[in-house]
Structure 1
Amino acid sequence: MARNTRKRRSSLAGKAIAASAALALGGGGLVWANFYASAHESHDSWGNRTKAAAAQVATISCPDVGQQLTDVPGQARTEVDGELANLDRQITDAYQRLATTRDAQTRDASFVQNSILQPLKDRRAAIIDRIQLEINRVGGNAPGRLDDLAACTASPADQPQTTGGQNNGGQQQGGQNNGGQQQGGQNNGGQNNGQQGGQNNGGQAGNGPSAADFVDITKVRPNVPAKPRRMWGASVGTFTTRCGVNANGNHNTDNVIVAPGVKNGAHHLHDYVGNQSNDAFANNGTFAAAETTCQNQQDKSSYYWPVLRVQNGTQDFDQNNDGGGKEGNVGKILLAKQAQIKFVGSPAGKVVAMPQFLRIITGDAKAFTNGPGNANAHWSCTGFENKVQLTDKYPICPSGSSVVRSFAFQSCWDGQNIDSANHRTHVAFADANGRCKNGFKAIPQLTMRLVYDVPAPVISNGQVKNAYAVDGFPEQLHKAITDHDDFINVMSGNLNSTIANCINRGQKCQ
């Protein structure tokens, strides 16, 4: 694979993953099985032809190289980010091949290993070598044993390959209990994903979600822990910013934090509110000069998250696009009816102002294969938020109740960096008592609450109709645990100080 420089990266979108013509349905993407059934639809013969293979192999799991790169010199980050994006593209390509060769897999037990995993390992090894060379070339020290991360595995949906070591930056330091992350009995290992009876992974595009990804919230026992006790000097104020719900349809499949300069770097579609110039090629100057949807025009921050879709047979505008239907993200895009953005304080003391252009990612878009170390998904229903929060299940809400996605971002900052090589180690969660670890400072904690009117999924005979799910990388099978949220602070220095002062004084500001 030729070296992919920043200049070339803009052409990545042209390298669309082509689904087999025999599998194309109305121009859609991964449609080797369609689990949406209506009066005029029935499961095609692919359901029978893939039973044996699908029961054994559901997805491809690869070690997350980017999370191991905690110290990349600034001079190398552009090239390294580009190569990491190439690794993502390779996994997507391999997953596409896995999904479109079910017939061959049933005939040859070694097909997946010989024709998919081994070539993938070889291609990954070449890119990992280039990453190491780039880091060392500018005087850095590439982590040892990166070569060990080249091999991937083909995993059943109920036993994803967890690569370990994904807790970078202390992401599990008590902060994962925010909103009930421990939720007993909802463990990720119990995802059967429609494998009963030899079925595949469900979903309108064949890569999830499945009936096992949903739970009737009225049948889940309360699991939200008590909030940390406030200490003397706690900062108890709040600052609310109103930036809309993306009613103007500002979408793209880029991720300028993780893959700057790379079109379709996210492989899934985002909703954007606030800053209106966020794409793969935006920089701090672009952000500062942009328009904003926020009522407070000093807030040009970018708030963005993967779209939520209902898989009811509808095909949206991106059915033929990279990051959309071509990569298994299908169905009608749902617009949140509420998007509440609020900054809150620390129960352990005062906060300092956030630095301008600070980047924070909360949650992990690859948590299904990475494991839950960086997961920070919160799913609930209106009327249940203080009682039940789900991490790895989508809730089925009772009549009159709406689906709620909520996020509590990392609230501790290292005091120096607005980003880090793996986009995690410059920030961290507070511990169970609300304290930041040594060397880190408490900053206003960004919290977000997205509310949706979602048609209730119906589960029958181990299948789900009207499923809904977040967009994601195709190999993540649209699992609820992969939900995540992104933030780039593009507030003026004056507004950053105003927010911190408001919170420290215990006021409610906006």
Structure 2
Amino acid sequence: MGNEHRLLTLLICLVLAGGLAAAALGAARVGGPRPTAASAGPAPGDYVDIREVPPGPAEPRASGPDASTGGVSVDCGRNAEGHYNEDNLVVSPGLRSGAHHTHAYVGNMSTDAFSTEASLDAAATSCAGGDRSTYYWPVLRRTDLPGDHPHEGSAGHGNTGRILPEAAVSVEFLGSPVSKVVAMPRFLNAMTGDAVALTADTDADVRARWGCSGFPDRSTTRYPRCPADERLTRTLTFPSCWNGLDTTSPGHRSHLLFPAANGVCPQGTFPVPTLRISLAYEVPAGVPVAVDSFPEQRHSPKTDHGMFVNVMTGQRMAEVVDCLNQGRICRT
């Protein structure tokens, strides 16, 4: 009889515990995801007044007769089409929502986790001149305002707030300060920046720079506080020293490296056109902003990054190379 009583008591406790757990889970679903330490941020130290950032360093100057001093600007719009998703074709192809945060795109209108060379080649593009390449980066949000569109709430993982639309997007290809450039292979994958910079051992892969439109000679790896009526800027410069063999590689970096500070490519690599994406935003002075990130990265500005897949035709890429090597300024 005593054993039966103890079993009955245990059963009642288990039922009550299950009911409490279900109630807690239901409350969490109604109230939305609860903030955690892992999804917090940015920290106060992630912001800096742009006037406190020293100028420089300057880009390497062209030297020698072989420098490719031209420039090519590609007009790809500023994502007026609202092309957003949580995919990352370069880093996690075939995995829906593999980025765990939202990316914004210009160029190829079809890009998602399941894009193929054939689908990219057949898609529409936002770029003038027919460039079907895909250019993308994590969105920037105002964290003081709620998001009211589907793509503003679909990322999860602490990425909340109203997405700031780009006021301007500049896509440029530049030459090498020390040598001629060779053509990029078609469907070359490239990435810049470090999406896990906050928890990485070093800042070696931190490449993105933040700034303000009125201080073009100053850049920082922190969120800049810009004076009123100035735009907040992001600059994403991609590696440009290709190994001559591969369009991608394990880790997505070893096939395409950055040149040294003087512009010289590492041994065994060849200079290809340098892609530079410049983004600008209308941000009222003093409002909080945050770039989308993995939860444990706490929206650190150091984690800013960008991706690129070259879908230019061979003829179009040859035109880019000729323009750079001949020192001309070209636009599409």
TM-score (norm. length: structure 2): 0.88
Quick check: 1:344 aligned with 2:174? yes
What is the CA–CA distance in structure 1 between the aligned matches of 2:298 and 2:117, rounded to whole Å? 34
What is the CA–CA distance in structure 1 between the aligned matches of 2:28 and 2:58, rounded to whole Å? 47
The offset of 1:317, in angstroms, is 2.0
SS of equivalent to 1:296: helix
Quick check: 1:24–1:31 contact (8 Å CA) kept in 2?
no
Quick check: 1:337–1:452 contact (8 Å CA) kept in 2?
yes
What is the CA–CA distance in structure 2 between the aligned matches of 1:21 and 1:312, rounded to whole Å? 27
What is the CA–CA distance in structure 2 between the aligned matches of 1:245 and 1:405, rounded to whole Å? 14
Corresponding residue for 1:494? 315
The offset of 1:24, in angstroms, is 6.1
What is the CA–CA distance in structure 1 between the aligned matches of 2:151 and 2:96, rounded to whole Å? 17
1:110-509 aligned at under 5 Å gives the runs 207-225=40-58, 227-297=60-130, 299-318=131-150, 321-323=153-155, 326-370=156-200, 371-386=202-217, 388-391=218-221, 393-457=222-286, 466-509=287-330
SS of equivalent to 1:495: helix
1:403-445 alpha-carbon deviations (Å, 9 max, x no partner): 0000111011001111001100000011121111111000010
Quick check: 1:31 aligned with 2:35? yes
1:1-16 aligned at under 5 Å gives the runs none
What is the CA–CA distance in structure 2 between the aligned matches of 1:356 and 1:226, rounded to whole Å? 28
Give the partner amino acid of 1:403.
L
What is the CA–CA distance in structure 1 between the aligned matches of 2:245 and 2:212, rounded to whole Å? 38
Quick check: 1:307–1:470 contact (8 Å CA) kept in 2?
yes
The offset of 1:239, in angstroms, is 0.9
SS of equivalent to 2:307: strand
SS of equivalent to 1:422: helix
What is the CA–CA distance in structure 2 between the aligned matches of 1:30 and 1:243, rounded to whole Å? 38
Residues 363 and 355 from structure 1, CA distance in 2 versus in 1: closer, same or farther, beyond 3 angstroms?
A: same
1:299-335 alpha-carbon deviations (Å, 9 max, x no partner): 1000001011001132232478542xx3111111111
Give the partner amino acid of 1:431.
A
1:339-393 alpha-carbon deviations (Å, 9 max, x no partner): 000100000110001110000000011111113121112000012121x2101x1
Residues 294 and 303 from structure 1, CA distance in 2 versus in 1: closer, same or farther, beyond 3 angstroms?
A: same
SS of equivalent to 2:136: strand
What is the CA–CA distance in structure 2 between the aligned matches of 1:294 and 1:475, rounded to whole Å? 35
The structure, 1 or 2, with the larger RCO (C-alpha pairs under 8 Å, 6+ apart) is 2
Gaps of 5+ in 1: 1-18, 33-57, 60-205, 458-465
Quick check: 2:108–2:134 contact (8 Å CA) kept in 1?
yes
SS of equivalent to 1:494: helix
1:422-476 alpha-carbon deviations (Å, 9 max, x no partner): 100000011121111111000010011101001222xxxxxxxx31011111111
User: Alignment RMSD, CA only?
Assistant: 1.8
Residues 312 and 24 from structure 1, CA distance in 2 versus in 1: closer, same or farther, beyond 3 angstroms?
A: farther
1:78-97 aligned at under 5 Å gives the runs none
SS of equivalent to 1:343: strand
Larger Rg: 2
Corresponding residue for 1:196? none
SS of equivalent to 1:487: strand
Give the partner amino acid of 1:480.
P
The offset of 1:222, in angstroms, is 2.2
Deviates more, 1:368-377 or 1:407-416: 368-377
1:48-63 aligned at under 5 Å gives the runs 58-59=37-38
Give the partner amino acid of 2:35.
V
SS of equivalent to 2:129: coil
Give the partner amino acid of 1:348.
V
Quick check: 1:241–1:342 contact (8 Å CA) kept in 2?
yes
1:155-184 alpha-carbon deviations (Å, 9 max, x no partner): xxxxxxxxxxxxxxxxxxxxxxxxxxxxxx
What is the CA–CA distance in structure 2 between the aligned matches of 1:320 and 1:225, rounded to whole Å? 37
SS of equivalent to 1:329: coil
Higher strand share: 2
Aligned residues between the structures: 307
Quick check: 1:415–1:440 contact (8 Å CA) kept in 2?
yes
Q: Percent identical across equivalent pairs? A: 42
SS of equivalent to 2:321: helix
TM-score (norm. length: structure 1): 0.58
SS of equivalent to 1:288: helix
What is the CA–CA distance in structure 2 between the aligned matches of 1:214 and 1:438, rounded to whole Å? 38
Gaps of 5+ in 2: 1-23
Corresponding residue for 1:146? none
Corresponding residue for 1:104? none
Quick check: 2:228–2:284 contact (8 Å CA) kept in 1?
no
What is the CA–CA distance in structure 2 between the aligned matches of 1:437 and 1:315, rounded to whole Å? 45
The offset of 1:31, in angstroms, is 3.2
What is the CA–CA distance in structure 2 between the aligned matches of 1:25 and 1:407, rounded to whole Å? 39
